[in-house]
Amino acid sequence: MRTIVFTHAAAKDLDALPNEARDDVLRGLDLHAMTGRGDVKALAGRTGSRLRIGRYRVLFDEDSRTILAIHVGKRETTTYRRN
């Protein structure tokens, strides 16, 4: 299992989500950290990956021991333009 670390901005993004969405995002991150499963794709034009959890996306970097969540947000917003 890998450790999940949130940047300050990602933690604020997560706190701003509705409770049900926050729980879904955390469950999705836990599943990816434990098993490597999930709808993950590499980002085009920059480093990092995205994890799709319903309408929400988690932009992150990872190595063999750590997942660093950089941004959490809805796909319909400026999720991919932000960072």
Mean pLDDT, to the nearest integer, of 32-38? Answer: 94
Residue 83 confidence (pLDDT) above 60:
no
- How many angstroms separate the CA atoms of 65 and 60, rounded? 13
For the domain 3-74, what is the CATH code? 3.30.2310.20
Helices 19-35 and 8-16, interaxial angle, to 10°? 130
H or E element at residue 64: none
Looking at the chain, the number of H-run helices and the number of E-run strands are: 2, 5
User: Would you say 83 and 70 are in contact if contact means Cβ atoms under 8 Å apart?
Assistant: yes
Q: List the one residue out of 29, 33, 23 whose CA is nearest residue 71.
A: 29
Single pTM value for the model: 0.86
Average pLDDT over the chain reads 91
- pLDDT value at position 82? 56
